[in-house]
């Protein structure tokens, strides 16, 4: 269990690249099954949330991991910064946080989702809210959040087809 935690929190993976599990390390604090796996009954909705949590998705942050850096001498951090969201004009790295709480493409769905949250959660900073939602074991938070993730994932897939 101790070895698991140290590998999870390492800055680099076995290949020397940035650790693929950078987000998961912030979410996972002990070696046990997460409650959301029991709470979310729909396998597709549960799967999309799990993929987001473990970075097994098609966001630019991950897709770019497998592309070669541009130009000679381009550093890994330069390459990381080039993984920009192509679905909005914010010029930000398309990571899980951007996809969930920043990308303007999903403003309408996000607004509806956030308005459905109890007031004490709506007043959190975006970063606090993101971690709270991703770590939540509260059924009344995690179920609507997982459905929101499913909705914006579906919308992203449709936009990719066009």
Q: Over the stretch 68-96, which tens digit does the pLDDT of each residue have?
A: 655 555 555 456 667 899 999 999 999 99
pLDDT tens profile 130-161: 999 999 999 999 999 999 999 999 999 998 77
Q: List the alpha helices (DSSP H) in 9-138.
A: 22-27, 36-39, 43-53, 60-63, 76-81, 96-97, 107-116, 119-122, 126-135
On average, the pLDDT of the chain sits at: 83
CA distance 144 to 136: 11
Would the pLDDT of 10 be above 60?
no
pTM of the model: 0.80
Q: Which of 50, 11, 57 is nearest to 33 (CA)?
A: 50
Mean pLDDT score, 28-35: 86
Residue written as token pair 């606090």: 128
């Amino acid at each position: 269990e101790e070895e698991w935690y140290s590998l999870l929190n390492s800055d680099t993976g076995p290949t020397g690249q940035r650790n693929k599990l950078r987000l998961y390390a912030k979410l996972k604090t002990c070696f046990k099954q997460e409650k959301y796996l029991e709470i979310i009954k729909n396998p597709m909705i549960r799967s999309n949330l799990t993929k987001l949590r473990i970075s097994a998705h098609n966001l630019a942050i991950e897709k770019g991991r497998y592309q070669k850096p541009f130009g000679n001498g381009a550093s890994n951090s330069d390459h990381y910064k080039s993984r920009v969201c192509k679905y909005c004009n914010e010029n930000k790295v398309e990571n899980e946080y951007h996809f969930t709480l920043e990308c303007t493409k999903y403003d309408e769905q996000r607004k509806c989702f956030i308005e459905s949250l109890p007031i004490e959660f709506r007043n959190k900073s975006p970063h606090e809210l993101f971690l709270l939602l991703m770590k939540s074991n509260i059924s009344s938070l995690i179920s609507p959040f997982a459905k929101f993730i499913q909705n914006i994932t579906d919308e992203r897939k449709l936009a990719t087809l066009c």
